[in-house]
């Protein structure tokens, strides 16, 4: 698996998938390999007002099922982002230093600004991976959580106040290969009831697990060019590239940072002793081997995770979810 780019063809006709298929096979010498199927469920949870909290808080959750994994994005607009929290910590530290006496000694307790800030239990966005499919719904049911479908809130509450069956949106299409380097996924976005709402196009460049982009939004000119060539010559076609910058991606994966840092510390400790995890004192890792997996590589579930994040973001920005 390699580096992936996503595009949204918003005004694709109902025959758009067939047109893309014909264009890939006839003009790009592509081959249809298999079916592409995704499903997305969206929920909302409203925390009512309380005596100590005069505001109602609404949280949203989108769950995208891809193969045997479910990628869940929970958004709480009342919580700060991780970047905002880190910025507040830096400001508090700078304020404490500015209040120190000129001689360098600490200021009096009454004038000293505390730099200790309690980290929030969660941030604005929390991105999780759940397996197997169906485990999320079982967990919500067991906890009695008040998550209701986004667009069917009133009806679901009347029929089943504790129900957690979210509105389902599916992506139905095909996976194509172009030569040995490219894999293309194209599918219709099908709403509940069967209405088609445009298409999703995804191009994957297999030789590279990662590709550093110079564009601020993280888009790749190579992938954009391939996706443009995949589009059939349809008048007034409106296709938009979907990308995420490295800073945004790090923000989405804030809850994985501690685990990765602990793994790096253990690896560094074992490397400093010259010992192999299997007990071979004379076995060393080949640090010059370029095939070793690097942090941020789009391989395995990491590729699927980032792809799911882009798809959820694209559909949410249009108000579909």
Q: What is the CATH number of the domain that holds 258?
A: 3.30.310.180
Long-range contacts of 182-187 (CB under 8 A, 24+ apart): 182/206, 182/226, 183/2, 183/33, 184/24, 184/30, 184/226, 184/230, 185/36, 186/17, 186/20, 186/21, 186/24, 186/36, 186/230, 187/17, 187/36, 187/37, 187/38
| CA separation for the pair 199, 184 (Å, rounded) | 13
Per-residue pLDDT of the chain (321 residues), as tens digits, is 567 889 999 999 999 999 999 999 999 999 999 999 999 999 888 776 555 555 667 888 999 999 999 999 999 888 888 888 888 888 888 888 887 655 555 444 444 444 567 888 888 888 989 988 888 888 878 777 778 877 644 444 444 444 445 558 999 999 999 999 999 999 999 998 889 999 999 999 888 766 666 566 656 788 888 899 999 988 888 888 888 777 777 777 776 655 444 444 444 444 444 445 455 444 444 444 444 444 445 557 888 888 999 999 999 888 887
Reading the block at residue 160, the tokens are 């089943």
Residue whose entry in the numeric block shows the structure tokens 């059939």: 232
DSSP codes of every residue in 292-316: SPPTT---HHHHHHHHHHHHHHHHH
Q: How many domains does the chain have?
A: 1
For 145, counting Cβ atoms within 10 Å of its Cβ (0-12 exposed, 13-18 middle, 19+ buried), the class is middle
Any domain includes 207? yes
Any domain includes 173? yes
Any domain includes 15? yes
For 190, counting Cβ atoms within 10 Å of its Cβ (0-12 exposed, 13-18 middle, 19+ buried), the class is middle
Any domain includes 255? yes
What is the domain extent for residue 177?
1-41+169-268+296-321
Reported pTM: 0.75
Report how far apart, in Å, the C-alpha atoms of 94 and of each of 77, 87, 89, 99 are: 27, 11, 9, 9
Residues found in the chain? 321
Any domain includes 287? no
Q: What φ, ψ does residue 152 adopt, rounded to 5°?
A: -130, 35
Any domain includes 135? no
Any domain includes 277? no
| CA separation for the pair 169, 132 (Å, rounded) | 19
Q: Which residues pair with 4 in a beta bridge?
A: 204
Any domain includes 186? yes
Cα torsion 190, 191, 195, 199: sign: negative
């Amino acid at each position: 698996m390699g580096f992936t780019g996503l595009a949204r063809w918003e005004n694709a006709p109902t025959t758009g998938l067939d047109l893309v298929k014909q264009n890939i096979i006839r003009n790009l010498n592509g081959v249809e390999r298999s079916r592409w199927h995704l499903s997305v469920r969206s929920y909302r949870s409203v925390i009512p007002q309380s005596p100590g909290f005069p505001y109602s808080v609404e949280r949203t959750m989108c769950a995208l099922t891809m193969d045997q994994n479910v990628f869940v994005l929970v958004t709480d607009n009342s919580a700060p982002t991780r970047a905002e929290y880190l910025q507040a910590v830096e400001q508090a530290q700078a304020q404490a230093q500015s209040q120190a006496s000129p001689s360098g000694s600490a200021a009096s307790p009454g004038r000293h600004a505390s730099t200790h800030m309690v980290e929030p239990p969660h941030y604005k966005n929390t991105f999780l991976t759940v397996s197997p499919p169906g485990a999320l719904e079982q967990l919500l049911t067991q906890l009695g959580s008040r998550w209701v479908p986004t667009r069917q809130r009133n009806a679901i509450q009347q029929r089943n106040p504790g129900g957690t069956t979210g509105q389902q949106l599916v992506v139905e299409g095909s996976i194509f290969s172009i030569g040995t380097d490219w894999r293309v996924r194209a599918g219709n976005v099908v709403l509940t009831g069967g209405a088609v709402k445009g298409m999703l196009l995804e191009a994957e460049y297999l030789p590279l697990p990662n590709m550093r982009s110079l564009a601020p939004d993280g888009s790749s000119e190579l992938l954009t060019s391939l996706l443009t060539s995949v589009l059939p010559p349809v008048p007034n076609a409106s296709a938009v590239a979907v990308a995420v910058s490295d800073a945004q991606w790090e923000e989405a994966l804030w809850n994985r940072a501690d685990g990765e840092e602990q793994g790096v510390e253990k690896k560094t400790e074992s490397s400093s002793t010259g010992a192999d995890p299997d007990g071979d004192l004379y076995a060393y890792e080949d640090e010059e081997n370029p095939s070793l997996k690097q942090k941020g590589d789009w391989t395995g579930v990491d590729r699927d995770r980032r792809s799911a994040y882009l798809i959820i973001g694209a559909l949410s920005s249009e108000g579909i979810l």
